[in-house]
Amino acid sequence: MTIIALILSILLGTASLARGYSQVGAMDYPRWFLLLAVLWLIALFRKWYWFSSIALLAVVLAAAYGVWQGFPTVWMLLGAVGGLLGWDLSDFAR
């Protein structure tokens, strides 16, 4: 059950960031966020638990930059929360 919550939090968190960035017309960044989600899931299944810390840093920095630039705050907040949940649940998946 934890693995389902982990996968959903990673996918929904990065999708929220992608949605927020695409709403303001930054169309290159959503592809990078989706690539980050895919890499994070691959790292999860290959048991590279160190990658979740790097992904959390990337997600939080992207959300902070989005808020700083005036992007929709709700999407940035959901993206940061999803990244934090993914990082936290990756410890439980061990």
**CB distance 19 to 75 below 8 Å:** yes
Whether 1 shows a pLDDT value over 90: the answer reads: no
Which residue is it, tokens 């169309």?
A: 27
pLDDT digits (tens, 9 = 90+) for 18-77: 999 999 988 889 999 999 999 999 999 999 989 999 999 999 999 999 999 999 999 999
Given this model, what pLDDT does residue 26 score? 86
Q: Which of 37, 49, 28, 44 is nearest to 79 (CA)?
A: 37
